[in-house]
Amino acid sequence: MPLPRPPLRAKIITAEDFHPAPEGLNVSPAARTLVWHSEVFKAQPSNPNPPPIPEIEGNTDHTIEITPIVSTGRWCAQCPWCPASEYPSSTQPFFMCSQCHNNGSFVWVVVKWPDRRWEIEEILSLRPVPQTRNWLPHETPEYLALENEMMGVKGTFEHMNYRRPDGLDDT
Ligand SMILES: [Zn+2]
């Protein structure tokens, strides 16, 4: 059972933050990255025709799930097929790579948010330097709390109501 979302001290960026809805267009959050890239694409005289943006409904492979990571304060969904990554959407957890269009299939896949997302975000948000806000799927929130303490962000265990590890100085 995930915890209710606590108020954050610093936001961990998602698609909703980085790609505001283009003015006058009703673009779903998951597709905003594609629209943004299409606009860049159209601006290049040699490439006047951006690829189409496929529908999510009825065009999603639910057997492929991508767990996003946190890199320097931003959630990033890494493409399984190419080196690109995209900002995932909180409200529409579907992924389409703006560079390879999911290996040329134009079929969306699923963004699987970690079960303890809000804890991860809360702990990382306590770090004053955005470049230190990083998370990989094998790292538990308790491990991130320990990292906080190691980098001088004291009181994280108490803030999160976690049991302080034996022998870890709290001063
Ligand atoms: Zn790709």
CA 66 to chain centre: 10
pLDDT at 165: 86
Q: Which residue has the tokens 């809000």?
A: 118
Report the predicted TM-score, pTM, of the whole model to 2 decimal places.
0.84
CB 110 within 8 A of CB 64: yes
What per-residue confidence (pLDDT) applies to 29? 81
Q: How far apart are the CA of 144 and the centre of ligand 1, in A?
A: 29
User: Using CA atoms, how far apart are residues 168 and 150, in angstroms rounded to an integer?
Assistant: 10
What are the 10-residue block averages of pLDDT along the chain, 171 residues in total? 57 80 69 76 68 87 97 96 94 92 95 97 94 97 96 93 83 59
Q: How far is the CA of 64 from the centre of ligand 1 (A)?
A: 14
pLDDT value at residue 34: 80
The Cα diameter of the chain in Å comes to: 63
Alpha carbon of 106 to ligand 1 centroid (Å) = 11
pLDDT of residue 15: 86
134-170 burial: b if 16+ Cβ within 10 Å, else e: bbeeebebbebbbbbbeeebeebbebbeeeeeeeeee
Instruction: Measure 85 CA to ligand 1 centroid, in angstroms.
Output: 7
